[in-house]
Amino acid sequence: MRVGLLTGGGDCPGLNAVIRAVVRKGIEAHGWETVGFRNGWQGPIEGLVRPIGLDDVEDILTRGGTILGSSRTNPYKVDGGVERIRATLAEHGVDALVAIGGEDTLGVAKRLTDDGIGVVGVPKTIDNDLGATDYTFGFDTAVHIATEAIDRLRTTAESHHRALVVEVMGRHAGWIALHSGLAGGANVILVPERQFSVDQVVAWVERRFEREFAPIIVVAEGALPEGGQEKLLTGEKDAFGHVRLGGIGTWLAEEIAERTGKESRAVVLGHTQRGGTPTAYDRVLATRFGLHAVDAVQDADFGVMVALRGTDIVRVKLSEATAELKTVPLERYKEAEVFFG
């Protein structure tokens, strides 16, 4: 059997651990030939393919990013995309695909399976917002990076009696903000799931200053003040003609400075949260996902995604995998409020 691998969407620590596990088990346990497609779905569309053997995956377990490259190409948005994938697979004798990606990549994997191409999905995202799995690899690493940053920012904030706003990733879900905020002892945590009152944030910040401590505010990039996006519009247009949103972290730091008269700084962690070596937890989860994806391909159980449920790796239908975004429940958020201010 010849099996192709690809990684799609934003990268994430642990992708290489999945690739290594699939190649290793596929070759050693089942005598597969494994090939890698470059840059997500662009690879099979454009025939960007090369064999991957045991030597290629020898030292990649600890490496961040993806040796295959990634892109957000969607074959359903490319002229003749699906037919070109079919032709590439036929030309190279590829029997099945393992697609490692987030919501978009897995959505394509589902449609391709419906269109008769055998795909098994492996979930990834640092945002941890895929509904069908308890955790995605990459999340733990991102939380570690953000927590370390909070720890470092706290000491400089204390020295200068400043408020520090730390903006973390999370467009639709506040998992990184909630977990890093709890782990780093943040004094305010703001998530996209709940619009926040700037007056309330200012009150918490002032209370913190009154007790002579420096406030640390962790804000997810998708969090919004009450009144919504309009408050953040800068009026500038980006390259696509869309009105640009001011970054929430910078906006909030300015509001805090203006309303409290205290110095305030914003730090946007951005893509540092996606780079570098995965934590041990993410290496293990990614490896287990890879091993179980091989089993699904071997069973010809296509149209499924491997997922973590409790401590077990299970298979779920790809339709279920992409049906619902997993956001932070209100009760989980409220648990943290006792630490605010």
Binding-site residues for substrate, please?
125-127, 162, 169-171, 221, 265, 271-274
Amino acid, single-letter form, for residue 78:
V
Residue given tokens 């290489």 in the structure block: 16
Task: Report the alpha-carbon distance of residue 313 to residue 327 in Å, rounded.
Answer: 21
CB under 6 A: which stretch of 19-27, 166-174, 280-288, 301-309 binds ligand F6P?
166-174
Residues 2/37, Cβ–Cβ less than 8 Å: no
Q: Counting contacts by CB under 6 A, is residue 170 touching ligand F6P?
A: yes
Total chain residues near ligand F6P (CB under 6 A)? 9
48 in the Ramachandran plot: left (φ > 0), alpha (ψ -120 to 50) or beta? beta
Q: How far is the CB of 127 from ligand F6P (least distance, A)?
A: 5
The reply to whether 125 sits near ligand F6P by the rule CB under 6 A is yes
Query: Rule CB under 6 A: is residue 169 a binding residue for ligand F6P?
Result: yes
What does the angle CA 265 – CA 269 – CA 274 come to, to the nearest 5 degrees?
A: 175
Which of 171, 237, 244, 309 forms a contact with ligand F6P (CB under 6 A)? 171
CB of 193 to ligand F6P, least distance (A): 14
Under 8 Å between Cβ of 49 and 43? yes
SS3 state at 115: coil
Tell me: does residue 126 bind ligand F6P (CB under 6 A): yes
Give whichever of 213 and 281 is closer to ligand F6P, judged by the CB atom.
Answer: 281
| Interface of this chain with ligand F6P, residues 232 to 271, rule: CB under 6 A | none
Contact letters (x/-) for ligand F6P, 199-238, by CB under 6 A?
----------------------x-----------------
Shortest Å, Cβ 201 to ligand F6P: 22
Question: In which residue are the tokens 């370390």 written?
Answer: 148
CA angle (160 as vertex; 186, 248 as ends), nearest 5 = 50
Q: Is 130 within 8 Å of 326 (Cβ atoms)?
A: yes
Q: Closer CB to ligand F6P, residue 127 or residue 282?
A: 127
* In the complex, minimum distance from the CB of residue 282 to ligand F6P, in angstroms, rounded to a whole number: 14
> What is the DSSP pairing of strand 96-101 with strand 119-123?
parallel
By CB under 6 A, tell whether 127 contacts ligand F6P.
yes
Longest dimension (CA), the chain: 70
For residues 311-341, one letter each, b for 16 or more C-beta atoms within 10 angstroms of the residue's C-beta and e for the rest, the string is eebebbebbebbeeebbbeeebbeebeeebb
Catalytic residue among 59, 79, 95, 127: 127
Contact between 10 and ligand F6P per CB under 6 A: yes
Quick check: is 127 catalytic?
A: yes
Binding site for ligand F6P (CB under 6 A): 10, 125-127, 169-171, 221, 274
Q: Which residues are catalytic?
A: 127
